[in-house]
Amino acid sequence: MTVTAAHLDPVSLAELTERAELQTRTDRKYVLPLAAAGDLMSRLDPATRVLEIEGERTFRYRSVYFDTPDLVSFRLTAYRRRRRFKVRTRTYLDSALCWLEVKTEGYRGGTVKDRLPYDSSHHDDVEPGRWFVDDILGDDRFVLRPTLVTNYRRTTFYQPADDSRMTVDIGLTWTDVDGSELSLPDVAIVETKTASSASPNDRLLWACGHRPVSISKYATGLAALRPGLPDVPWRRLLRRHLPC
């Protein structure tokens, strides 16, 4: 399945960035069967627009997550600690653009994302950007190494009513450093990104019976691939959606 929403008008990357960059934001995540995601597309506000670049509306993403040998980033997320953080490179495979990104917890639980343009040849090496990571985290003691790789396809929607965004990710695959792999072929991960309050798309999801869930592409994937790790925040989700 491809989430194209061909009936909706396009929005350019430049306009989307200008109107709804939302580097500091509130995220709400939903996990839907692919069929439900397709139904959601047909119910979107007709004013909703879809990110389109050179005629394409679905784009391939590859992220490499970095963590310490004792998985500090993972454990802070698993145990819901304050000052949680994630460090990753994100490569847009269709354009070969790459960013080094640091996500931290903002004021009142929001998400703050800082990013640095990065050489795609260093997508699995954080050292060229360590100065940036250390500056954001305010700590240079972390030993960081590649821990997990994610691949998926994303479609991004812009809601003019409140300048919010919604992303729909399909074909998610997690790959551990030992080469073990796990895919969710029949699942769509929907994420709304707003300045704070719920967006029209959140209210549409609620009306369709979908509620926000706790999922982290990094921490949930690592817990799924390494059964010995704590998985309480995602246990029900994994049991429901992982292939038998």
In the chain the first and final C-alpha atoms are separated, in Å, by 21
Q: Could you give the CA distance from residue 235 to residue 220 in angstroms, rounded to a whole number?
A: 9
pLDDT value of position 162: 87
Residue 94 main-chain phi, psi, to 5 deg: -75, -20
- Across the chain, the runs of DSSP E, i.e. the strands, are 9-11, 24-33, 49-51, 59-67, 85-92, 97-105, 111-117, 145-159, 164-176, 181-194
Q: Please give the pLDDT value at position 151.
A: 98
Distance CA 66, CA 86 (A): 8
Architecture of domain 23-241: Alpha-Beta Barrel (3.20)
pLDDT in tens, the chain (244 residues): 556 678 899 999 999 888 877 666 688 999 999 999 999 999 999 999 999 999 999 999 999 999 999 999 999 999 887 788 999 999 999 998 999 999 998 666 667 889 999 999 999 999 999 999 999 999 888 999 999 999 999 999 999 988 899 999 999 999 999 999 999 999 999 999 887 788 999 999 999 999 999 899 999 999 999 999 998 888 888 888 776 5
Q: Quote the pLDDT of residue 109.
A: 60
